Amino acid sequence: EGEIIDKLHEASDIFDGVVINPGAFSHYSYAIYDAIKSININCVEVHISNIHQRQEEFRKKSVTAGACIGQISGFGFYGYILAINALVNSI
């Protein structure tokens, strides 16, 4: 979790946007949420599977998505391409 936060802070000085798949951290990491909110570039959250189809209710909710300009889930690895396109169009 700490390494993700460090990379987010580094990214704001280098990149125009971030595509992030926080994995299980998406369900509870307010620290990553705060890190995304603190940087001055847009972020898009990606999940390979559709998180809304998961069995457990807590796995359907992403805490970190609220800090991003959008969330893409359920399109497999193609979601990363969609996220990059979304970032390019947001700049």
pLDDT digit string, tens, across residues 14-30:
999 999 999 999 999 99
Q: What is the pLDDT of residues 65-80, one digit of tens each?
A: 999 999 999 999 999 9
| Tens digit of each residue's pLDDT (9 = 90 or more) over 50-60 | 988 888 888 87
Nearest Cα neighbor of 68 from 24, 14, 20 is 20
Rounded to whole angstroms, the Cα distance separating 8 from 84 reads 16
Q: Name residues whose C-beta falls within 8 Å of residue 34's C-beta, 6 or more positions apart in sequence.
A: 67
pLDDT for 83? 98
CATH class of 2-75: alpha beta
